[in-house]
Each structure stands twice: as C-alpha cells, then as structure tokens.
C-alpha cells in the first residue's frame, strides 16, 4: 500500500471517528455524569459519625464538593457544630446544646454511638470547621433552630468576615435554614453569600412561594419526596438553584439526577460521584 493511500485512509478514518464522536458527544459517560454538586450531609454521615472531623475528612477524601454542617450555640455563646438541639442521640451526654458550655460539649464522646472505632470524636467548634476546610471543600452551613439563639446570624456573619469568606471570589460558602426569617436576615448581613431555604412542605413549591423565596434566596432546597420536574423548572425560572436531601440510596440519587437538580445532599457521597 502506498504512503499516499495510507495517509488518505487515515484521514478518512479520522473524519469517520470525528463524526461518531460528535454524534455521541451529548451523551454523558459514566465519568461525565457528575453534573451536580455533591454535598456530604453532616459529613459522610453514612460511613462516619455525623458532624465530626472524622466525617468531614472522609467527605473530602471522597471528593465531595461541599460538606454540610449544622450550627448552634453553647451556653457560653460559642458556635458549635451539631444537628439535634440536644446531645442525647449523638453523644454520651444528655441535655440541651444551649444549656452546656463549649468545654462541657467538647468533653463528650460524639463518635462511639456510630462505631467504637470512632470513640473520642468530639463536637467541633464552628470556627474550627471554617479554619480546617475552607479552601479544601465548599461549606454548606445550616443554621439549626436559629430562633433558639438570638443573634446567631450576626455571629456567623462575623466569623465569615474575619476570614474573608463573605466575598464571592473566595471559597464556596452557602447558608441555609428552615427558618425563612433567619435567611432574610442573613441575606441582609451577607449580601454576597448565597442563601438557601429548606423545606419538606409542598405548599412552598407553588409559583407564588418560589417567587417570594427568590427575593432573598439563591437556593431552594427541598426534601426529595416533593421534587418533580415541574418544581425544578419553576425554581430555575425564578433564577434559583435547587439542592435536594437527604439521599440514602442509589435509587434516590438516580431520581434526582433525572430531575436535573443542581445539588444532591447525601449521607453517601459515592452514590453521587462515580469516581468513588
């Protein structure tokens, strides 16, 4: 076969291959499927104790885009990371978070309830989480029951400002809550930080409700049980993004992928990210 014929054959093959590549370019491969933000709920809570350094470190190792944390306040006014308003479920202690000092809270074992190998994990301080993870992973901050802690919005805002995390050019920060008034206040305090509203109530998915949320929130974050294509479309039509929770099965993750949400909040980051 002549050199010219070989070259011509190669060109023809290249053109044919290019045509096939273009034809299939719009079909996502397994590796390209990750089109949504992978948010590790309370850290990689399916595998490690929630809201602990062990859980957050694992989430980073699993390539999560964000860690989701719950923020409350101790008796002596320090911001701490824990979900329940009492310590009973996730530590070896008892009592309300707001009735215990930071020292008392951090003396509790927050890991053994999950598995004995996590014994000694503690309740982190909010600022500890900011210092350890900003620049490594996005942080989705949930203000948990802010009505119990007057002024918590200002405290969170101050902690972010001290680290220049209130500016859009810095690492990813989002603040969310079920308390809509708290999010309105947060939006005023931190106008450049995205705000999200949490809900599991279908009445909050109406066009009127979504329009109201869009006046101060950039994210609408519903439980996946109330997510539909229509809801996603309406959220996007209002200029907001949608992140849904809490995924604890591959089926739930696949459903949310099909709904074209912008973020999936999950106890199992590997259900969302095919690289794991």
Point out the residues that are catalytic.
41, 83
Contact 40, 68 (CB under 8 A): yes
Angle (CA) 85 190 52, round 5°: 35
The overall longest dimension of the chain from CA atoms, in Å, is 87
Q: How far, in Å, are 2, 4, 11, 26 from residue 16 at the CA level?
A: 21, 18, 9, 17
CA–CA separation, 74 vs 124, rounded Å?
A: 11
Q: Closest Cα to residue 163, out of 147, 141, 146?
A: 141
Rounded Cα distance between 58 and 45, Å, is 9
Q: Judge whether 214 and 240 are in contact, CB under 8 Å.
A: yes
Instruction: Give the CA-trace dihedral at 19, 21, 22, 28, to 10 degrees.
Output: 160
DSSP state of 49: -
Residues in the chain: 276
């Amino acid at each position: 076969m002549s050199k010219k014929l070989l070259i011509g054959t190669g060109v023809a093959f290249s053109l044919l291959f290019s045509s096939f590549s273009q034809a299939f370019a719009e079909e996502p491969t397994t590796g390209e499927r990750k089109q949504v933000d992978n948010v590790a709920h309370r850290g990689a809570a399916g595998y490690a104790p929630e809201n602990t350094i062990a859980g957050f470190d694992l989430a980073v190792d699993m390539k999560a885009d964000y860690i989701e944390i719950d923020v409350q306040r101790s008796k002596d006014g320090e911001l701490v990371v824990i979900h329940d308003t009492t310590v009973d479920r996730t530590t070896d202690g008892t009592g309300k978070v707001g009735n215990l000092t930071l020292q008392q809270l951090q003396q509790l074992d927050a890991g053994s309830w999950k598995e004995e190998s996590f014994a000694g994990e503690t309740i982190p301080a909010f600022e500890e989480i900011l210092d350890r993870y900003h620049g490594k992973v996005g942080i989705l901050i949930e203000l948990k029951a802010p009505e119990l802690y007057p002024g918590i919005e200002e405290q969170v805002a101050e902690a972010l400002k001290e680290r220049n995390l209130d500016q859009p050019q810095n690492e990813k920060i989002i603040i969310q809550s079920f308390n809509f008034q708290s999010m309105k206040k947060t939006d005023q305090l931190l106008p450049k930080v995205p705000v999200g509203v949490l809900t599991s109530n279908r009445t909050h998915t109406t066009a009127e409700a979504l329009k109201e949320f869009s006046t101060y929130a950039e994210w609408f974050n519903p439980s996946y049980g109330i997510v539909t294509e229509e809801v996603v479309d309406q959220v996007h039509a209002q200029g907001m993004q949608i992140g849904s929770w809490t995924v604890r099965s591959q089926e739930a993750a696949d459903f949310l992928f099909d709904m074209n949400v912008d973020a999936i909040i999950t106890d199992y980051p590997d259900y969302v990210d095919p690289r794991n």
